[in-house]
Structure 1
Amino acid sequence: MNNNRHEPVTVIGLGRMGQALASAFLKAGTPTTVWNRTASRADQLVAEGARLAPSIGDALEASPLTIICVTDYQAVHELLGASDVDLDGTGLLNLTSGDSAQARNAAEWAEQRGARYLDGAIMAVPSAIGTSEAVILHSGPQSDFEAHKSTLDVLGTVTYLGADHGLASLYDVAGLAMMWSVLNAWLQGTALLRTAGVDAATYAPFAQQIAAGVATWLPGYAEQIDSDSFPAEVSALETDARAMAHLIEESEAVGVNAELPRLLKAMADRSIAAGHGGEQYPVLIEEFSKPRSRD
């Protein structure tokens, strides 16, 4: 394995996340060059030992790996597409938030200019950078990822997803879907129990237990989805739909918003109408995999 933990690195973009990235490198003893449109944002990092590059071109030349973390992909193109910027031979990791199409387009754009391009996504808040809690996703050529992995390891739990540059962005939004779905389900239950005087802190451990239990179902359900076979080993979708109706009725009876369970039941009803009522819940993947009808 390439032992390059202390190879120089450049960080372009010094918002809260960019500053956290650069600070983590400095704390690990990594020679770090930084650049930002507003140079004063680098003051604290310079005090910690960073070198402030006078230009983007100088910043790119300073290190075998440059990490860019800016507002959006348009800013990436504006900064790196300037006439005085040479990307030829540059190792570039883009940790700017965006969608998978933007990531793939940026990869093509950068590679046409001679860069070795990786795209990534940060699944963490700035304060977690530099700890194992910070999950950082990477996609692009595996050889480029491996060349810099020991450098990137100081940022947190680094994960390689595959050669498709869009994978990091897709995993990012898939993770957000999980996060918001779990939180929304908990808020629905909390709202219900508050009508009986049960506070959120009392309900939270029970909700956590349920969430952890449901998570253990995922590998088995994934096998059903990947094999396109949904035998009702636990319960049939039509049984789940009756429970959804009960949730809707209970919510409305106690004056709690029922929009979320109504949405879920509408999807289940469409699947049942299509003949899948006797199959297991993961058969709903067919509903999730197609756009909503606009008629």
Structure 2
Amino acid sequence: MSCDDNQAQAAVAVIGLGQMGTRLAQAFLAGGYSTTVWNRSPAKAEALAAQGATRAATVNEAVATSALIVVSLPDYATVRTVLGPAAGQLRGRTLVNLSSGTPQDAAEAAEWAAGHGAAYLDGAAMSGTRLVGRPEALFVLSGSRSAFDRHEAVLRSLGNSVHLGGDPALAPVYDTALFGLAWGALAGFYHSLALVRSAGVDPAEFGAVATAHMPFVTSLMADHARQADKGVFPDDDGTVEVHRAAIEHLADTSETQGIGTQVPALFRSLLQQAADDGHGASGIASVIEAIAKGRRHA
């Protein structure tokens, strides 16, 4: 059976129906695309079949019924284990791997897919499961540009699907970098929330003010990224020394209020390292240079 015939039968096959895989399949169905599903435990596939999906009895059957194969499994080793029996049927198809791993994992997976004649896209869901299927859900993908273009309409059923470039390792780099960004922001928020709660502030009220403050913070990210690219750090947003003094106030206040100081201690360490590197009078984005050196301040 040719791949063109397969496309007529099913637009997409989803392999792996955990929380994310289930949401992917539901988004494809909501987008009006014929969707075949397969999971090692059949119950999850049966639940989706009740919503309009076609349940494949085997992974071979799932691969055979679509030109676009979307995989959501715990790791890359599991992907090879699961797809191994159907590897011979991958030729001419596109494999989109949304499993979690490293850039090296992605490069090896792309090589494995190419060895079986499949186009390959590595990807990551950056907005969790909650937003899948909505325009604001971010999916980053890298690898074959022609495969992305060919299946872009289907992939946009998931949300804002962005192609980063031809190197399949780019998606896991972005994945881990953006995960670190989210956790950095959340760690700061959690510390702030603990601080204001210690002063009797209603958490919901603070959350609303913090949310209103975030557009300013995100504007700094865009500007500071440009500064990092040029290696020039103007002091428009305050110098390292000015911010170091402010962090001391944050640490002292936190200690006085009886809450943990782990988060301000990290900030203080980074600013101290930047100052030690001669950036005390530079803008705060010069902390990027301290981080890039890869050493820790004692």
Global fold match (TM > 0.5)? yes
Question: Identity percentage over the alignment?
Answer: 37
Q: Which moved more, 1:106-115 or 1:207-216?
A: 207-216
Partner of 2:112: 109
Alignment check: 8 A CA contact 1:72 1:98 kept: yes
Structure 1: segments with no counterpart, 5+ residues: none
- Paired position in structure 1 for 2:264: 261
Aligned counterpart, 2:247: 244
Match status 1:69 vs 2:79: no
Distance change (3 Å), C-alpha of 1:55 and 1:85: farther
Residue 46 in structure 1 maps to residue 49 in structure 2: yes
Distance 1:195 1:35, change over 3 A: closer
Provide closer, same or farther for how the CA distance between residues 186 and 83 of structure 1 changes in structure 2, counting only shifts above 3 A. closer
* 1:14-61: CA deviation from partner (whole Å, max 9, x where unpaired): 112212211222233312212111222211222233222232222212
Q: Is the 8 A contact 1:120 1:137 kept in 2?
A: yes
Match runs of 1:1-295 below 5 Å: 8-82=11-85, 85-293=88-296
Cα separation, 2, equivalents of 1:127 and 1:192: 28
Cα distance between partner residues in 1 of 2:111 and 2:41 = 29
TM-score with structure 2 setting the length: 0.90
The Cα shift of 1:253 comes to 1.7
How far did residue 84 of structure 1 move?
Answer: 6.5
User: Which amino acid in 2 is paired with 1:72?
Assistant: D
Q: Secondary structure at the match of 1:204?
A: helix
Inter-partner Cα distance in structure 2 for 1:293 and 1:106 = 34
Partner deviation per Cα, 1:187-206 (whole Å, 9 max, x = no partner): 22222222222121222222
Q: Does the CA-based 8 Å contact 1:7-1:151 persist in structure 2? A: no
1:150-192 CA distance string (max 9 Å, x none): 1112222211111111222222222222222222212222222
Cα distance in 2, alignment partners of residues 191 and 17 from structure 1: 31
Q: Which amino acid aligns with 1:288?
A: I
In the aligned structure 2, how far is the partner of 1:15 from the partner of 1:204? 31
Q: How many residues align?
A: 292
What is the CA–CA distance in structure 2 between the aligned matches of 1:25 and 1:92, rounded to whole Å?
A: 16
CA contact (8 A) 2:10 2:35 kept: no
* TM-score when normalising by structure 1: 0.91
Greater mean deviation of Cα atoms: 202-211 or 34-43: 202-211
Question: 2-side partners of 1:265 and 1:53: how far apart?
Answer: 55
RMSD: 2.2
Alignment check: 8 A CA contact 2:88 2:116 kept: no
